[in-house]
Amino acid sequence: AHQPAEQGHPALMIGWPRVPLSPRLTNALAIAALFAAGSSGLDYIALPEPSLALTYVEQSMPLDAWGFVLVIAVVGAVVGWVLEFWPGVIVSHMTLAGCYAAFGVGALAAIALEWHGSGWRTGISWICLQGVVHLVLAAAAWRQLDRQRLHL
């Protein structure tokens, strides 16, 4: 039988699954993932003109718009974490997860349409690394929100 996470409180078992990460590991993942996302955002903003290497999804909006979405989400996650405003952290990480999932699907679609037998690693990396890490961080923030609501 699955035991409730903290102090036997059953409400903590509702919603997001338990994320058994230590606070130190969660912070390390957040710093690395947010640094990568912020760097990507700034790179999109600074990119002088669209490149042929961009996926269909990246080309669907002006690059600086993608950059601002990423940078604003990073700032939202950092400010939310510092202020312990967990809904902001959750929305920010879900935004980043969605962006990277979209970038990954776009990269995989481009490879599927122009199949040469290779090149799919970027799409898989965006989905499995950035996308999933931001989902895990959103889940960790959700757990913090649950603790805050239940005064644990």
pLDDT at position 12, please? 43
- Helices (H) then strands (E): counts for the chain: 6, 0
Where does the pLDDT of residue 57 fall: very low under 50, low under 70, confident under 90, or very high at 90 and above?
A: confident
Residue 138 has φ and ψ, to the nearest 5°, of -65, -40
Tell whether the model's pLDDT for residue 5 goes beyond 90. no
Q: Which residue has the higher pLDDT, 54 or 64?
A: 64
Higher pLDDT, 145 or 116: 145
User: What would the mean pLDDT of 19-41 be, rounded to a whole number?
Assistant: 89
Residue pointed to by tokens 């609501």: 149
Q: Which residues of 26-63 are buried (b: 16+ CB within 10 A; e: fewer)?
A: beebbeebbebbbebbeebeeeeeeeeebbebbeeeeb
144 versus 118: the higher-pLDDT residue is 144
What average pLDDT does the structure give for the chain? 84
**pLDDT for residue 152:** 65
pLDDT for residue 39 is more than 60: yes
pLDDT given for residue 76 in this prediction: 98
pLDDT digits (tens, 9 = 90+) for 72-96: 999 999 999 999 999 999 999 999 9
CA distance 104 to 121: 9
